Amino acid sequence: MRIVFIGPPGAGKGTQCKRLVELLGIPQLSTGEMLREVKRQDTALARWVARHLDAGELAPDHLVMRIVAQRLAQPDCEAGCLFDGFPRTIVQAQLLDEYFSRSSRKLDLVLDLHVVQEQLVLRLLKRAELEDRGDDDYDTIKARLRVFETQTAPLLDYYRKRGLLTTIDGMQSPDEVFEQIRLAVAART
């Protein structure tokens, strides 16, 4: 299965992806982690990516798709994968659709993890403290949430129209959220 997780920063995409990886035995593709890895390198590209990420902006669509396509070409993705934080824009979704149409693969399910904004801010500030993530200060969090609302939230309609979207209440306990996810996945298999 190929599953996309959509949700604002702090909604729990990474946490739930890890649980689903164990259940399905397919890899988690975290574009956030992939971009942070690029950012740690000592290259002009890394500095360019860092400027975008440190300002709370999304990395350019073509760059993200290039990184994702390289990862999808690896053998462990043959049976499927979980997309954590990708696509984040309509353009990225269209690029992914084009990639799949060329490779005779398809997207099976899109999970929307819905959490109210006040809770997201609290979760992200706590994560910043626990994980020493400099990209999660208050101003950057607010900027990232604005970016989500303007650039990523339109994906919900994009995937709803294609019959792929299932909304999950991310305000519940992690176990309750995972049970809803497990049921949504079972309905597609």
CATH number at residue 18: 3.40.50.300
88 is catalytic: yes
Q: How many domains does the chain have?
A: 1
71 is catalytic: no
- Could you tell me the sign of the dihedral formed by the alpha carbons of 135, 60, 64, 2, in that order? positive
Amino acid 180: pLDDT: 97
Q: Is the pTM of this model over 0.85?
A: no
Amino acid 62: pLDDT: 85
The catalytic position among 2, 39, 88, 123 is: 88
36 is catalytic: no
Distances in whole angstroms, Cα of residue 148 to Cα of each of 55, 132, 173, 178: 14, 22, 23, 23
Provide the domain limits for residue 154. Answer: 2-188
Amino acid 134: pLDDT: 67
CA pair distance 153, 172, nearest whole angstrom: 21
Amino acid 60: pLDDT: 84
Per residue, what are the HEC states of 29-56?
EEHHHHHHHHHHCCCHHHHHHHHHHHCC
102 is catalytic: no
pLDDT along the chain (189 residues), means of 10: 92 89 93 80 79 76 87 93 90 94 92 93 88 77 88 93 96 96 94
